[in-house]
Amino acid sequence: MTGCVPLSLEDVPALLVLEKSCFGTEGFSDAQLRQMITARYGLALGIWEEELLVGAALLEVLVPESELHSLAVLPAQRRHGLGSILLGAALNEARKRGATQMFLEVRSSNQAAISLYEGAGFMPLSVRRGYYSHPREDALVMRKRLASASPGPIGTEINAASRG
C-alpha cells in the first residue's frame, strides 16, 4: 500500500469504480470527476494498493474556504485507518493552499463517517433536509476551522498590518 498521492485524469476510471462501490448511483460521474480534477481549485488524493485505488478524497479550495466533496474507502478496506489518512491529507492540503476552514456534507445516518469527522474536529453546523436521494435522507453540514493556514495574500496583509 502506498501513501496518499495526488490523482490525475488518468486515474478517473479507478475513481469511478471507487465512487460506484461506495456511493452507488449518487457517486460522481466521469464528467464531474474530470471537471473536479482539472479545475483550478480542485484536488483529488488517493491511496493505492498495488493497482487498486482503495480510497480517495475529493476537495475544492477557494480561499479562505475549502469543501470536502467526497471521502471514499472501498468497503473491504474500511476500519484500517485509511479514512483518517485521507482526511488528514485533505486538511493539510487545504491549509497549505491558505484555507482557514473546511465544510462537508454527510448522510445523517452515516454514523461511522460522522464519528471520523467529529474525531478530526468537525462540528455540526446545519441540516439540509432531503439532500440525498436513493434513499431520501437529510445531510448534516459540518465545519472545521483550520488553525494554521499558510500565509497567503489575505494572511500576509493581516500579518503586515498587525506588525505596523
| Number of neighbouring beta carbons within 10 Å of residue 91 | 21
Q: Give me the pLDDT at residue 148, please.
A: 55
65 has catalytic annotation:
no
161: amino acid identity, one letter: A
Ordered structural domains, the chain, with CATH: 4-163 (3.40.630.30)
What are the residue ranges in the chain where pLDDT is below 70?
Answer: 1-2, 147-164
Of 19, 93, 105, 132, the catalytic one is 105
Q: How far apart are CA 70 and CA 58, in angstroms?
A: 5
pTM as predicted: 0.85
Query: Is the C-alpha dihedral spanning 70, 94, 67, 117 positive or negative?
Result: positive
* Beta pairing, strands 65-73 & 101-107: parallel
Q: Give me the pLDDT at residue 55, please.
A: 97
Q: Give me the pLDDT at residue 60, please.
A: 96
> Could you read off the pLDDT of 11-52 as tens digits, one per residue?
999 999 999 999 988 889 999 999 999 999 999 999 999 899
Can you list the positions of beta strands (E) in 63-153?
65-73, 101-107, 123-132, 137-145
41 has catalytic annotation:
no
Residue burial 95-111, b: 16+ Cβ < 10 Å; e: rest: bebbbbebbbbbbbeee
Q: Give me the pLDDT at residue 134, please.
A: 79
Of 67, 93, 117, 132, the catalytic one is 117
